Chains A and B, each alone.
Chain A
Amino acid sequence: MKCEEFMRQLDNYECLTDAQKAEMNEHTLICERCREELDFYLSIVAEARNLPPIDVPPDFLDKLNEKLDMEDTAKKTGIAYYAKRYWKQYAACAAGLALVAAVAAGSTMFMNRMNEVVDGTKREETVANNKSNSNGDAAASSAVPAKESGSAADNPQTDSTKQALPKEISDIIASPSSVASADNRRTSQTTNTQSSSVFNRITNNRDYSVSDAAGNNDEASNSDLSANATTETAEQPSFGQRIIPEKNGDDYGIALAGVIDIMTNKEEKTYDIRPEDVSSALRASEIKEKYSLAENSENIAFGQYYIIDENGNPVEDEAEVPAIGAIKVSSTDKEKAEQVISQYPHDENGSVYTTNSENLSNILSDLSEEGVEYTDYTLAGSGDVKFRIDY
């Protein structure tokens, strides 16, 4: 055995056959330098294997159980579970939710009044349902009257709600455009007042199972609230499940969802922008403040859904958009290349693969190991990378 071969095999020493090891050992008898290298290597491996583990803190399980208790408590309160996880986003949207609730209250009163005309008992049922659903959304419940009065002005609770709202939101409520929005909402879609959970507008994508939501009585209350109401199943995503918010261009209200993919650790949050925010009532700067958007988020548009990216905003900054790289592979190696890629977590969109830089690095090294020749690919960043295979 020559020294070059010895050195090449050294890093792979553990995986060598006994015969190969014997050959190397034989070489060390005649080559001092190689013997030193082998000793050095074996010492490092032995030392790594003997590194003492760090201790488990005595209160580790206690602390963990405290966290789990909090999880349990939060889960029981439905939205609070997500509010705890995404409190910043929720805080930013709180004003919006309050507005939805306040305007919806007006709608409820209108519908109740209509119901009262048609059927005197209907109103009572609706109020009862409103009460039963009020636990689901604290913000909404505080903003919505528990009992109906003749008008908003006559209702002290509605008045106090208005006072509690930021000025710009009060202005929206008073503005003609908001009245138009309220009318539109009243006639075109479900208006589930107190239980207008942020998840109400999320539909169950058939690819993903979604657990039941806090408001189990929503369907009942919806049907009571309006004869025109379309029943939406109020569903709340459970942890680890992806959800697809319903894309409804003229939908009203804020859809906000927090989902974590347990295997990829990616947190994804989506919400839509309310129509009145993009029209005349609020300017872009106010929207940014309200939704915690990034500086360059001028292009937000009603009806669009934005994936909150790594910066915590829904704007794909230039630096965050990875270039689509191309790995050129001979067509004869197509199968091998696809097999290698399939071994690493990735998303596929047509011919474009998305994975992280570590996986791509592994893919490239595996391609080499499989004897697949490819052109060098330069990563555009350290986060997710997109690439396609050209044959």
Chain B
Amino acid sequence: MTENDIIKKCKKGSREAFNILFSRYQSQVINIAYGMLSDKEDAYDAAQETFVKVYRGIGSFKEESSFSTWLYRITANVCSDILRKRQKNSNVISITGYADENKDFDIVDDSAAVEEGIELSERQAAVRNAISGLKEEYRLIITMCDLQGMSYEQISEVLKIPPGTVKSRLSRARSALKKALEGKRDLF
């Protein structure tokens, strides 16, 4: 059964079809969410929320873009929403807001952000932590491009930005990542 057939069945309300679709994409969605949120439980919750939204909103999926594009866009939106809520709940007060936006990365305590239950080399842990300290848009683009292996074109469609912007943002994100890892240069 092709993906289009599955989606048609989903639109008719077939739970079985939804489950096929969800099984196919659950790992990607969870890992995009994890890349964005740097917390396993939050990533699982975000993925669940994403799929619930897909379930509710499949009727509005126009099939003008690919399903994965639509799905990843919802995932990114759900994660952004969670991050906004997190920011709101945090006690950090930003006077201008712009300063934080401009900040390319935060110094992240390795022990705090090292993932639970995943065996990582010291190098991998350093990279993972550095990514989690990047600002949201950089985290997202590195997650999509490097961790998920998505093409510039697909990222461009998901984020609704031109491919040129994808490249330049990725370039800035990698530069920020490199800066964040400067202190760990000896590991590389």
The interface of chain A, by Cβ under 8 A from chain B, is: 11-12, 14-15, 39-41, 43-45, 47-54, 56-57, 60-61, 63-65, 67-68, 71, 239-240, 262-265, 310, 343-345, 357-358, 361-362, 365-366, 369, 378-383
B31 touches A382 (CB 8 A): no
> Which residue of chain B is the closest to A345 with respect to CB atoms?
B160
> Which residue of chain B is the closest to A14 with respect to CB atoms?
B170
Partner of A362, one of B57, B128, B165: B165
> Could you name 29 residue pairs across A and B whose Cβ atoms are closer than 8 Å?
A11-B171, A11-B174, A41-B174, A47-B124, A49-B149, A51-B128, A52-B119, A53-B30, A54-B31, A54-B118, A57-B44, A60-B26, A61-B22, A64-B22, A65-B19, A71-B52, A239-B57, A240-B56, A262-B53, A310-B88, A343-B160, A343-B161, A345-B160, A358-B136, A361-B102, A362-B165, A365-B168, A366-B162, A379-B96
B97 touches A382 (CB 8 A): yes
B77 touches A265 (CB 8 A): yes
B52 touches A67 (CB 8 A): yes
Q: Across the interface, which residues of A come within 8 angstroms of B136, CB to CB?
A: 358
Tell me if B111 counts as interface (CB < 8 A to partner A).
no
Which 5 residue pairs across A and B have the least CB separation, nearest first? A48-B146, A11-B175, A239-B56, A43-B188, A382-B97
Cα-based distance from A240 to B43 in the complex (angstroms): 23
The interface of chain B, by Cβ under 8 A from chain A, is: 15, 18-19, 22-23, 26-27, 30-31, 34, 40, 43-44, 47-48, 51-53, 55-57, 60, 73-74, 77-78, 80-81, 84, 87-88, 94, 96-98, 100-102, 115, 118-120, 123-124, 127-128, 131, 136-137, 142, 146-147, 149, 160-162, 164-165, 167-172, 174-175, 177-178, 181, 185, 188
Cα-based distance from A163 to B185 in the complex (angstroms): 74
Q: Across the interface, which residues of B come within 8 angstroms of A382, CB to CB?
A: 84, 87, 94, 97, 100-101
A71 touches B55 (CB 8 A): yes
Cα-based distance from A50 to B22 in the complex (angstroms): 24
Partner of A64, one of B51, B88, B118, B181: B51
Known contacts A68-B55, A358-B137, A365-B168; is-contact A44 B147 (Cβ 8 Å): no
Cα-based distance from A294 to B158 in the complex (angstroms): 37
Q: Across the interface, which residues of A come within 8 angstroms of B172, CB to CB?
A: 11, 365
Q: Across the interface, which residues of A come within 8 angstroms of B53, CB to CB?
A: 262
> Which residue of chain A is the closest to B27 with respect to CB atoms?
A56
Q: Across the interface, which residues of B come within 8 angstroms of A56, CB to CB?
A: 26-27, 30
Cα-based distance from A350 to B95 in the complex (angstroms): 29
Q: Across the interface, which residues of B come within 8 angstroms of A345, CB to CB?
A: 160
Partner of B174, one of A44, A57, A60, A366: A44
Cα-based distance from A198 to B164 in the complex (angstroms): 48
> In this complex, which of A41, A53, A240, A357 has the most chain B Cβ atoms within 10 angstroms of its Cβ?
A53
B165 touches A366 (CB 8 A): yes
A378 touches B98 (CB 8 A): yes
Partner of B73, one of A54, A240, A263, A310: A263
A60 touches B188 (CB 8 A): no
Partner of B101, one of A39, A40, A361: A361
Shortest A131–chain B CB gap in Å is 30
